[in-house]
């Protein structure tokens, strides 16, 4: 059917493309890509020959207008980002909103997403969570963002750059304490996929022992997990002090 298709692509492992994504990408009139060269590699791999057009942070609004004009004439257009689900910490949302405002059908074609993949294998609560995208790059703003997080038993999910993970973990320890349980999910679905789980202070020690930290990272934690640890240790301390006074 004519309309706008938001198509998820793999976040590393090419097998994560869906059968429906392939069929949709093959059958649209045009594929709007965050980076045409990046998407062309994927299209070549699957032998899909469909014209591409670029859209990104800096041209999303004017491009949305052009694409909506084509959609109004009955075109089928797919939106694809560099990796994962378009619109999630990626452009795509403005085009979807513009299409909806113009009365054009918008179809999700779901697939890989780094945040959800990290969450389901994190061991943290999955019933309630907040996805925050990237933390602010500036130290002061990042600290404030962490301080303002609600401290309940929901999970918080962040995307993080490898060159900033050490600083962010230091901030996290300063705000939530050394015992705060955190999960670092790195290179999901790729050859060197890795999950580090433990108190933030231990993860910092582990990561600082590495010469460099590479790859793509999702950082997760649930403040109440730390509270539980804290409660446990304060109960242990209380028991110890009671035993001392008894003895």
Least distance (Å) between residue 213 CB and ligand SAM: 12
Give whole-number Cα distances, 202 to 122, 180, 199, in Å. Answer: 17, 10, 5
Cβ 95 to ligand SAM, closest distance in Å? Answer: 14
Task: Enumerate residues 6+ apart whose C-beta is below 8 A from 164.
Answer: 137
Nearer to ligand SAM, 48 or 89 (CB): 89
Determine the Cα–Cα distance for residues 3 and 75; give it in Å rounded to an integer.
7
Q: How far is the CB of 113 from ligand SAM (least distance, A)?
A: 4
Which residues in this chain contact ligand SAM in the complex, by CB under 6 A?
11-12, 81, 83-85, 88-90, 113-115, 159-161, 185-190, 216-218
Of residues 20 and 230, the one with the C-beta less far from ligand SAM: 20
Taking the complex as a whole, the smallest distance from the CB of residue 237 to ligand SAM amounts, in Å, to 37
Longest dimension (CA), the chain: 86
Query: Cβ-closest residue to ligand SAM?
Result: 84
DSSP per-residue codes, 207-219: HHTSS---S-EEE
- Complex with ligand SAM: residue 29 or 35, whichever CB lies closer: 35
Please name the helix (run of DSSP H) or strand (run of DSSP E) that holds residue 158, with its range, or none: strand 155-160
Contact between 160 and 171 under an 8 Å Cβ cutoff? The reply is no
Residue 169 CB, shortest distance to ligand SAM, in Å, is 14
Q: Which is nearer to ligand SAM, 113 or 180 (CB)?
A: 113
- Evaluate whether 179 touches 224 at the Cβ level (below 8 Å): no
- Residue closer to ligand SAM (CB basis): 92 or 223: 92
């Amino acid at each position: 059917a004519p309309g706008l298709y938001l198509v998820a692509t793999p976040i590393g492992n090419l097998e994560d493309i869906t059968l429906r994504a392939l069929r949709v990408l093959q059958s649209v009139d045009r594929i709007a890509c965050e980076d045409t060269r990046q998407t062309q590699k994927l299209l070549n791999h699957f032998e899909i020959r469909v014209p591409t057009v670029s859209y990104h942070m800096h041209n999303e609004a004017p491009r949305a207008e052009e694409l909506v004009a084509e959609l109004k004439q009955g075109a089928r257009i797919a939106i694809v980002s560099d990796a994962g689900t378009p619109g999630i910490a990626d452009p795509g949302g403005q085009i979807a909103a513009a299409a909806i405002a113009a009365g054009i059908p918008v179809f999700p074609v779901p697939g890989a997403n780094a945040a959800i993949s990290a969450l389901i294998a994190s061991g943290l609560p999955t019933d309630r969570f907040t996805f925050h995208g990237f933390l602010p790059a500036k130290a002061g703003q990042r600290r404030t963002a962490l301080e303002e997080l609600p401290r309940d038993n929901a999970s918080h999910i962040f995307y993080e750059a490898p060159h900033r993970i050490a600083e962010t973990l230091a901030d996290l320890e300063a705000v939530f304490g050394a015992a705060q349980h955190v999960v670092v999910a790195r290179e999901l679905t790729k050859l060197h996929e890795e999950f580090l789980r433990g108190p933030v202070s231990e993860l910092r020690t582990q990561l600082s022992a590495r010469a460099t930290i590479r790859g793509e990272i999702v950082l997760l934690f649930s403040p109440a997990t730390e509270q539980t640890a804290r409660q446990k240790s304060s109960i242990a301390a209380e028991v110890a002090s009671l035993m001392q006074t008894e003895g």
